[in-house]
Structure 1
Amino acid sequence: MTTPRPARIAMFSIAAAGHVHPSLEVIRELVRRGHRVDYAIPEAFAEVVADTGAEPRTYTSTLPTDDDPDAWGTELIDNIEPFLDDAIQALPQLAKAFEGNEPDLVLADIAAYPARVLAHRWGVPHVQLSPAMVAWQGYEEEVAGPMFAELKRSPRGIAYYERFERWLADHGVPLDPDRFTGRPDRCLVLIPRALQPHADRVDEDVYTFVGACQGDRAHQGEWHRPAGAEKVLLVSLGSSFTKEPAFYRECVAAFGDLPGWHVVLQIGKHVDPAELDPRGHGLPANIEVHSWVPQLAILKQADAFVTHAGAGGSQEGLACGVPMVAVPQAADQFGNAETLQNLGVARHLPKEKADAAALRAAVLELVDDPAVAERLRAIREEMAAEGGTRRAADLIEAELP
């Protein structure tokens, strides 16, 4: 393959780990190949971006952060309005940040709405980098249509769509909001094909699965398996939906003092470790508790993973060959949990049923089942063949003008 001339590439994302981390190694590889990458990101992730060799272009975001997860509300409209609000106020900032330095190509996370508007304005290709499942042929009729039908009839939903349509029209983008947000012209899917529902109905002229692009994540730190630990279990609900002290107490009850097992319990920013030990007796010696952990470093040494089944954690579990107990909390996690269970590598436990007895039984059944280990081995081989970081960078270069 002929290496193209060094190009100027712009990448756009939001300040959320699940949206930034999946593509970091792709950005690092593009920089290694000699391309100039300017990365639009809020200040909270500027250092992580700079570590790849890209140039952070910081902007102010109005999206709720992990510091206030309740700000996302409880209804569908609560979940989608903030992205439009943020896009409208961020677009002028981003246009100014790139003025005089317009790129040859735009890369964008699925939540970075201004990127597609700017690519249209600049007349350059727009390539989406999806850290989660993508739409398949029939998705609108089977999933999106029923999900949004009531919203589109409500006063708040009607106002949202009218505002979105005006914003697109004002910037000359000839798309309706649903197509704008859900149907890119070109997309690289940064999850393994195995995690994609109805993968046989995905348009491969638009979407290319390149699988996990993880790198070594050295910047996140290391973790060392304790001497004498026969089995290691990681429990993590990610970074956003972690305010679950009752669930963590069930995990302590399920795995505390379990012979031969060492447990790493990540509880996030919003739970005090004291809440896991309301009687003050002290936690079992085999459990270490942290607000945050270097997840991938632990999974490479783990024997089981209790997860919320976010796209990032799900594919990391698959890439490391770790059986999973999926306890979804929100969004696409429910579908991911079902997919993992259908693959034969996980058990889906709804949150309301995830008590100590159910958690313990699920973990022990998974790690003792040779069929689960064999299926994980086969999936790891399939993922390796998808190409990962280098293939993603090759495909991005192929889109350069």
Structure 2
Amino acid sequence: MSKTIAFFPEAAFGPALNSVGIAQAVEALGHKAVFLSDPGFVSVYEGYGFEAHPVNLSEPMPPEQMAKFWEDFINGHIPNFRKSPYDQIDNYVKDCWTAIVDSAKWAQKDLPGVLAKIKPDLICVDNVILFPAIKQYGTPWVRIISCSENEIEDPKIPPHLSGCSESDYAGHAAYRDKFNAVIKPIHEDFNEFLAGTGEAAYPIGQFFEASPFMNLLLYPEPVKFTREHPLPPSQFQYLEGCVRKEKPYEVPTFTENNDKPLLYVSFGSLGAGDTELLKRIIATVGKLPYRALVNVGDYKDQYTDLPGNVIIDSWFPQPSVIPQVDAVIHHGGNNSFTECLYFGKPAIIMPYVWDGHDNATRVDETGHGFKMPRYDWTDADLAAKLDACVNDPKMKAKLAATSAHMQAENGPQKAAGILDQIVRTGKFDG
């Protein structure tokens, strides 16, 4: 019997497109997938053929103005991208959590009415903060964790956003202490909001909880952390990424280096605003024996005199591009991170914010690629790391094994099977 499954991803392309992948698989099983959406993302879901219902996550404004708001927010923080994750707590991280708490307050105004209208049988939320109306609606709800698995804390693993290595326990403690001190007034404000909705206060540093029904981690098992308290499979399942289906991509002909290895460079839709860094990478790659496809977002008009071995565009169907390349340079966003692993492609991660720091450290310490400073590098550094990505047999073997493991699992299908069981029976039996 067909059920209605609602997806409510964060207003960012990573979570949005991961949920699209799961929703495609859910509909293949005969259910109806609908989206609850920030107004600025409604057209994204409609573009994949889904029904989408707007939920205001901030003061209402036209969709194009909302998209510009986040672009301006990120671009305004470009000077902070040079700072360590620890030193970003006072600025980028604090500003983000202020905006995220505000989004939960705004959502509470719209969500009860939207849920009453669409009457979902199951709700899947991919965010870092609790929306009380979803928990209180009365049907099972599932949490999707599309960022690093350390969103679910554990005393033995690095704190979320810290970029610490797994064994740097002093670094873990220092980051947690500073995060909790800086975030305290924002957290107190959130707990006041929770009390007003009848929800219990969260301990310092926590803004969400695990779902009692199911929590789907997109993180791949080959790079997962060793926890002091292992996550019980009855409540937590690893999806091995959720690579959506995209239209095919044909690699264009370059004016130079057509017989050389192919690179893909992308810092995501928001990271494209760091045009000086992308221009620097293009100039360096222009002197090396490679070809490169470079995602420059909405800033295409700022690029002139490109080398013959580089082609730029405003957008690429990434899951159709990555299988065809030899190495990827990216910012550490979860889609790029998991897609490279899924297709067995080495990555050089130059992180700037959020879980990019965690993913960069993890790709490096598990031998699937390299973490590289965003600005403090030389042409020789980049050339050496690219050479290793393309030619290192040990790295190639590791990536091949990880890719085989992930593709055997098929994350979207696995997620759809779990959601199907919950929506039919009210629980997951394994």
Instruction: Find the aligned partners of 1:197 and 1:271 in 2 and give their Cα distance.
Output: 39
Instruction: Find the aligned partners of 2:220 and 2:316 in 1 and give their Cα distance.
Output: 24
Aligned pairs for 1:2-401 (under 5 A) are 5-62=1-58, 64-70=69-75, 74-111=91-128, 113-114=130-131, 117-135=132-150, 138-139=154-155, 143=159, 146-150=174-178, 152-153=180-181, 157-176=183-202, 178-185=205-212, 186-198=214-226, 201-205=229-233, 206-218=235-247, 222-226=249-253, 228-259=258-289, 261-270=290-299, 272-274=301-303, 282-400=305-423, 401=426
Deviations along 1:293-351, one digit per CA (max 9) or x if unpaired, are 22222211101111112111011111122111111111111221121112222121111
Name the amino acid aligned to 2:144. Answer: L
Instruction: Find the aligned partners of 1:98 and 1:250 in 2 and give their Cα distance.
Output: 47
Contact 1:234 1:302 in 2 (8 A): yes
Provide closer, same or farther for how the CA distance between residues 355 and 105 of structure 1 changes in structure 2, counting only shifts above 3 A: same
Contact 1:235 1:264 in 2 (8 A): yes
Report which structure shows greater RCO (CA 8 Å, sep ≥6): 2
Question: In structure 2, the residue corresponding to 1:353 is in which secondary structure?
Answer: coil
TM-score under structure 2 length normalisation: 0.81
Provide closer, same or farther for how the CA distance between residues 90 and 71 of structure 1 changes in structure 2, counting only shifts above 3 A: farther
Instruction: Find the aligned partners of 1:132 and 1:58 in 2 and give their Cα distance.
Output: 23
Over the aligned positions, Cα root-mean-square deviation in angstroms equals 2.7
Name the amino acid aligned to 2:216. Answer: L
Contact 2:129 2:207 in 1 (8 A): no
Instruction: Find the aligned partners of 1:284 and 1:158 in 2 and give their Cα distance.
Output: 49
Instruction: Find the aligned partners of 2:322 and 2:127 in 1 and give their Cα distance.
Output: 26
Instruction: Find the aligned partners of 1:320 and 1:210 in 2 and give their Cα distance.
Output: 15
Instruction: Find the aligned partners of 1:251 and 1:139 in 2 and give their Cα distance.
Output: 38
Instruction: Find the aligned partners of 1:355 and 1:71 in 2 and give their Cα distance.
Output: 26
Provide closer, same or farther for how the CA distance between residues 137 and 286 of structure 1 changes in structure 2, counting only shifts above 3 A: closer
Provide closer, same or farther for how the CA distance between residues 170 and 395 of structure 1 changes in structure 2, counting only shifts above 3 A: same
Instruction: Find the aligned partners of 1:169 and 1:379 in 2 and give their Cα distance.
Output: 44
Identical counterparts, % of pairs: 22
TM-score under structure 1 length normalisation: 0.86
Contact 1:31 1:53 in 2 (8 A): no
CA-CA distance at 1:270 after TM superposition: 4.8
CA-CA distance at 1:112 after TM superposition: 5.9
Instruction: Find the aligned partners of 2:157 and 2:327 in 1 and give their Cα distance.
Output: 37
Contact 2:21 2:245 in 1 (8 A): no
Provide closer, same or farther for how the CA distance between residues 101 and 323 of structure 1 changes in structure 2, counting only shifts above 3 A: closer
Name the amino acid aligned to 1:195. Answer: V
Length, aligned pairs only: 384
CA-CA distance at 1:211 after TM superposition: 1.2
Q: Give structure 2 stretches of 5+ with no counterpart.
A: 59-65, 81-90, 161-172
Name the amino acid aligned to 1:207. Answer: F
Contact 1:232 1:302 in 2 (8 A): yes
Instruction: Find the aligned partners of 1:142 and 1:200 in 2 and give their Cα distance.
Output: 12
Instruction: Find the aligned partners of 2:129 and 2:177 in 1 and give their Cα distance.
Output: 24
Deviations along 1:166-215, one digit per CA (max 9) or x if unpaired, are 21122222351655525343211123122333368541333210112213
User: Does 39-48 or 132-141 show the bigger shift?
Assistant: 132-141
Contact 1:102 1:122 in 2 (8 A): no
Provide closer, same or farther for how the CA distance between residues 314 and 37 of structure 1 changes in structure 2, counting only shifts above 3 A: same
Name the amino acid aligned to 2:297. Answer: G
Instruction: Find the aligned partners of 1:92 and 1:141 in 2 and give their Cα distance.
Output: 36
User: Does 296-305 or 244-253 show the bigger shift?
Assistant: 244-253
Q: Give structure 1 stretches of 5+ with no counterpart.
A: none
Instruction: Find the aligned partners of 2:71 and 2:280 in 1 and give their Cα distance.
Output: 23
Contact 2:295 2:316 in 1 (8 A): yes
Instruction: Find the aligned partners of 1:41 and 1:55 in 2 and give their Cα distance.
Output: 10
